[in-house]
Structure 1
Amino acid sequence: MFRKGMAAMAAIVAGLCLGHPSRAQDLKLYAFSSGALTLGKGALVNNAPMEPAIQVPVGFYLIRHPKGNVLFDTGNNDRIITDPGYWGAAFTAMKPVNTPDVAIDAQLKKIGLTPDDIAYVVPSHLHLDHGGNVGKFPKSTIVVQKTEIQNAFWPEPGTGGPYMIGDVMPLRSANTDNPNAVKMIQLDGDLDLFGDGTLIVKRWVAHTPGSQMMTVRLKNTGLTILTGDNVYFRENVEKNVPPSISLAYSPTGFFTAFEWIRMMMATQNANFFTAHDPDAFKAMKKAPEFYD
């Protein structure tokens, strides 16, 4: 069993080494802010205190690729800027930043883009702070795990709290024979998005039934892993700190993700970006600055 596991891991590593340098040199990775949430660290990290509450960022990312712009996550639904009641009790509980400057249109405008300029939207999962604006991209192709879209509409018992049905309803057509209202790739596994090794969507069931991460191969920065909520804080990976069990659909999935990321760091000098680590996000370049 151990040998099989190591062989499988080696195959993953080999697959990630197939990126074409000619493509990688043209990529740019931008970090954006969808505001912040106010909560106790213990809501995300096992045995961490719930008091005092801290502000955690809600980050999302865009990659410029020669074949099209790719958005990883979409932040909080912009509707809460003018209609806090849309989130109901979650708004009062998490006190999200909801100023107009964190709207996804305003953020993308920093690099001269609009939602219509996005070729692919890759939500790490569809919780309200990651898939909130997924419905604002009618001209894009949504790349999502089939189990995630199913769970957003019909959640398994105990998993439904962080989903907002209003966020995902724009993806659903009334036509029962063709229920997709937008172009969509429903995955059951990994996807090399452009077939050149530079952007690989990786199914990794941990935070949710259909959570996914994405690797970005940049010429100068190197391999960068966008983790979604499979990693909350850098200490999760660096110190193997477990997440809060309340938001862990597959606790073992978290630990295998941590292990895989550490292996990528050791063997390929990779780095990883999270959405919610306050210190790490503060230190990052923000759009219009970029990583290449």
Structure 2
Amino acid sequence: MSIPQSVERTLRAAVLVACAGAALSAHAADAANVALARLDCGSQPEPVSVASFSDTMEHPDLKLPLTYSCYLVRHGDRYLLWDAGNALDGSARAPKVSLVDQLARIGVKPGDVDYVGVSHHHADHTGQLASFPGATLVIGQGDWDVMRASDPPAGMDAKDFAARRAPFKPWISGGKVETLTRDRHDVFGDGRVLMINLPGHTPGHHGLLVKLDKKGSVLLTGDVTHFHENYASNGVPTWNTNRADSLASLDRFKKLEANLDATVIIQHDPRDVEKLPVFPEFAE
């Protein structure tokens, strides 16, 4: 007995809907859980002058404590380390516990870290980078060009330049590097963890956007800004490499905050530390 065409069309449509539903369910089941944690990468608990953080002399008498924060993004069973903090050099601002030892608390070894993303090449963001030589380094092209150059940039002597480059040796020597030239970089390929191009502080400076299921979007500043007062007034540090780019990056960052209703975490401001759970807990 033949099936009427109208019934056949209905059956076909039902099968297509069922298949599409199954595909969506499978995709949802396969979607990686994303979580974010803060790691301690040093501190300057005694207030210090931040006068040089404004090239318009906005804060001549302001003193603030500063913190140095690194972050771990867990994407399913893969990991991104965002910034690598101060070196364990015994200085006042050096962390008391290494990144390697902090990660060991949750059973993560250096070889388990897939990516190390650096906001920029300054020493307080790269001090322990060489502890993760097997990871892929993800860095803005402008900053990588500085680190690969044979001569130090203007204003830096050869000794300081050699010290700045030292944490990058595993990658200068041939380790895996992804250099970023586009507007944003999708670290894991699903739109959940994005490095955002925010030049000005350095030529290849980036921030990080992490989209969490429960907490929502989180924006990590890198050094697009350093403390609440400067963020409020679009303050530009005297040592930034490009003032116009710095202001454009601040404008973009604030619009991302507004459009995504994002939680902004200023990495150097201790007032933002409590925006994430105390490690080893993660925000999800």
Does the TM-score normalized on the shorter chain lie above 0.5? yes
Q: CA deviation at 1:159?
A: 6.0
For residue 254 of structure 2, what is the amino acid of its counterpart?
R
CA contact (8 A) 2:276 2:282 kept: no
Return the structure number with greater relative CO, CA threshold 8 A, min gap 6. 1
Q: Distance in 1 between matches of 2:263 and 2:74?
A: 19
Correspondence for 1:217 = 211
Q: Distance in 2 between matches of 1:140 and 1:55?
A: 32
Q: CA deviation at 1:151?
A: 0.9
User: 1:242-268: CA deviations, max 9, x gaps?
Assistant: 1322x2112222222222222223222
Does 1:172 pair with 2:172?
yes
Q: Distance in 2 between matches of 1:127 and 1:22?
A: 40
Q: Distance in 2 between matches of 1:117 and 1:134?
A: 14
RMSD: 2.6
Distance 1:98 1:219, change over 3 A: closer
Correspondence for 2:49 = 40
> Number of residues paired by the alignment?
249
SS, match of residue 272 in structure 1: strand
Which segments of 5 or more consecutive residues in structure 2 lack a partner in the other structure? 1-26
Correspondence for 2:154 = 157
Within 5 A, what are the aligned runs for 1:119-268? 119-154=114-149, 155-158=152-155, 164-173=164-173, 180=174, 182-189=175-182, 190-237=184-231, 239-245=232-238, 247-268=239-260
SS, match of residue 114 in structure 2: strand
Distance 1:52 1:261, change over 3 A: closer
Q: TM-score, normalised by structure 1?
A: 0.76
Q: CA deviation at 1:51?
A: 6.0
Correspondence for 1:271 = 263
Does 1:75 pair with 2:68?
no
Range 24-33 or range 218-227, more displaced: 24-33
Q: Distance in 1 between matches of 2:58 and 2:28?
A: 42
User: 1:143-198: CA deviations, max 9, x gaps?
Assistant: 1122212213434313676862222223222xxxxxx2x11112212211122110
Which segments of 5 or more consecutive residues in structure 1 lack a partner in the other structure? 1-19, 82-90, 174-179
Structure having the higher Rg: 2
CA contact (8 A) 1:67 1:194 kept: no
**How many percent of aligned residue pairs carry the same amino acid?**
25
SS, match of residue 233 in structure 2: coil
Q: TM-score, normalised by structure 2?
A: 0.78
CA contact (8 A) 2:118 2:125 kept: yes
Q: Distance in 2 between matches of 1:171 and 1:43?
A: 32
For residue 132 of structure 1, what is the amino acid of its counterpart?
G
SS, match of residue 30 in structure 1: strand
CA contact (8 A) 1:240 1:255 kept: no
SS, match of residue 228 in structure 1: coil
